[in-house]
């Protein structure tokens, strides 16, 4: 449910004692952007936003993507069907693979690597 503190019903997640890389990661002509966060334990994550559209990404390490706001459809490499995801959902992508994502509504996400 949307509120002044939680616009559009976004999921809430916070990280303490982190290093934030100030240079943005920019993909697909600026329609996908993220910032890299390194936790106190050395884990790398990205916090990002995707504008509506369809995109393809390749992975090196395994990734878990938590959708914190919005709606998307995801098709993993060699998959035959698309799967819907919305705020509160997660999906995983194997390392050395790729996926396609169709962003239906502005997507806010956290990507966990490894």
Q: Which tops the pLDDT comparison, 65 or 7?
A: 65
pLDDT digits (tens, 9 = 90+) for 13-39: 788 899 999 999 999 999 999 999 999
In a domain, 5, yes or no: no
pLDDT recorded at residue 92? 98
Do strands 44-50 and 97-113 pair parallel, antiparallel, or not at all (unpaired)? Answer: antiparallel
Domain of residue 22 covers: 15-113
DSSP per-residue letters across 2-50 = --SSSGGG-------S-EE--SPEEEGGGTEEEEEEE-TT--EEEEEEE
What torsion do the CA atoms of 75, 76, 79, 83 make, to the nearest 10 degrees?
A: -40
pLDDT digits (tens, 9 = 90+) for 65-100: 999 999 999 999 999 999 999 999 999 999 999 999
With cut-offs at 50, 70 and 90, classify the pLDDT of residue 4. very low
Number of domains in the chain: 1
Rounded to two decimals, the pTM is 0.86
pLDDT recorded at residue 12? 66
3-state helix, strand, coil in the chain (%, to 5): 5, 55, 40
In a domain, 107, yes or no: yes
pLDDT recorded at residue 15? 84
User: Which CATH number belongs to the domain containing residue 40 in this structure?
Assistant: 2.60.120.10
3-state DSSP call for residue 70? strand
Distance (Å, whole) CA 67 – CA 111: 9
* Residue 8: pLDDT over 80: no
């Amino acid at each position: 449910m949307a509120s002044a503190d939680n616009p559009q019903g976004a999921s809430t997640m916070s990280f303490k004692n982190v290093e934030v890389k100030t240079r943005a990661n920019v993909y697909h002509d600026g329609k996908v952007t993220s910032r890299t966060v390194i936790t106190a334990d050395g884990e790398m994550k990205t916090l990002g936003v995707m504008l509506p559209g369809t995109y393809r990404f390749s992975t090196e390490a395994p990734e878990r993507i938590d959708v914190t706001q919005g709606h998307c459809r995801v098709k993993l490499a060699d998959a035959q069907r698309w799967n819907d995801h919305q705020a509160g959902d997660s999906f995983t992508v194997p390392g050395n693979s790729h996926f396609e994502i169709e962003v239906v509504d502005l997507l806010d996400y956290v990507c966990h690597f490894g």
